[in-house]
Amino acid sequence: MSVRLIHGPIVSCADLTAQRALFEGVFGLKPVAEQSLDRPAVKALWGLDGHGAKTMLLETPGTHFGVRLVQFDPVSPTIIRNRNSGFDCDALKVIDFYAPDFDAANAHLQSKGFKLKDDVSEYDLPNGKFIEGHLWGPDEVVTALISGPKDFFRDFATTTDKLFSEPQSISSPVEDQPKVVDFYEKVLGLSVVHEYFIDDPSFSKLVGTPHKLQLRAKNIGLKRTEPYFGIIHYGLPKGAYKSLRDKAVFPNRGLAGGTLFVDHIEDHAREAKAFGVEIHSAITEVSLSPYGKVRSFTLRAPHGVIHHLIET
C-alpha cells in the first residue's frame, strides 16, 4: 500500500528529561523538534480526552528514524510493563539497537549511569553467534543492545559504523502471531522481511521466565535495513504469561506505539475499518512539529499496539 517510512517508537513518559538522558545521552539520538500540545490537539492526534502534552522528536543523525517522546498532562500513574514479568504479551516490549562492539557500548551506557540486566544472552543462529543485553530504563522502557556478525548487520541496519545503530526494531510478544501478521499485511501493506528462532536457555534467563522459551519471530516492515516491527511468540505454555492489552493505551507510560509515514492515508483507514481494529482518532488535519500541517490517523492493532499514521 502506501507506507513509505516506519519512523520508530512512541514512548509515553513521566519526564522528557529522563528519557532524553537515555535516548540522547546513551544512544546518540538528537532532538529535531519540540512542541506543546493543547487538549484539542492531543484529541485530534491520538484520540485521548482530557490531556495536554509536551512532545519531543529525536532522530539518529544521518537518518530519518528515531523516537517520539510524549509527556501527557496529567501524567498517568500506570506503567504498561513490569520488569518482573517481562514475558507478558500484547504490548510493545523492546527497542533494539545494533552495537558493533558490545563491550564498548556497554561501557558507554554504564558511564552514563545506566546498567544492563545482569543476565546477558549469547545464542547461535544460522548467521552466526549473537550477544544481547537488555536495559530497563525510565517508565520501564526496555532497550536492547544486540551484537553479532558485522556482515549480517550490514543488511539489517542503516547505521553500522557508530557505537549504536538507529532504533532498529520495535518488538512485541504476542499471543496470536498469525492474526497480527495478517493485520500488518492487510491494513498497512507491510510484509515479513526476516524470520528467526531462538531456544537457547540463556535467552530464557534474559527474558526472565522460568519456563523453557522457544522464541519464533517474524520481522515485518518495508526492508531489513530500516526499522521494522518484531512480532514474537515466546512459545510459553498457556497461563505462563498475561496480556497487557488493557494497559497498553495512552496516557499510560512506557513503550506504547509506533509512527509511520504514508502517502494515501484513506487507504489505510478503509482497510482498518474492514479489518475491524480499534480506531482511536479518525483522519484529521493537525499541526505537528517539525512537519507543519499533517493528516493524522491513529489505530490500535490486534496485539494492543498504537500505530500513528501521518501523511505530510
Q: What is the pLDDT of residue 213?
A: 82
Residue 241, CB-side half-sphere exposure with 13 Å CA sphere:
28
Q: What whole-number distance in Å separates Cα of residue 147 and Cα of residue 61?
A: 20
Q: What is the pLDDT of residue 186?
A: 97
Q: What is the mean pLDDT of the chain?
A: 95
How does pLDDT run across 75-96, given as a tens digit for each residue? 999 999 999 888 999 999 999 9
The confidence band for 72, taking pLDDT boundaries of 50, 70 and 90, is very high
The least confident of 165-169, 190-194, 207-211 is: 207-211
Look at residue 146 and tell me whether its pLDDT is greater than 90. Answer: yes
Q: Using the Cα atoms of residue 140, residue 69, residue 116 and residue 142 in order, give the sign of their dihedral.
A: positive
Residues 6+ apart with CB under 8 A from 310: 259, 260, 261, 262, 288, 291, 294, 295, 296
Q: What is the pLDDT of residue 239?
A: 84
Q: What is the pLDDT of residue 264?
A: 97
92-107: average pLDDT? 97
- The Cβ of residue 69 has, within 10 Å, a number of other Cβ atoms equal to 28
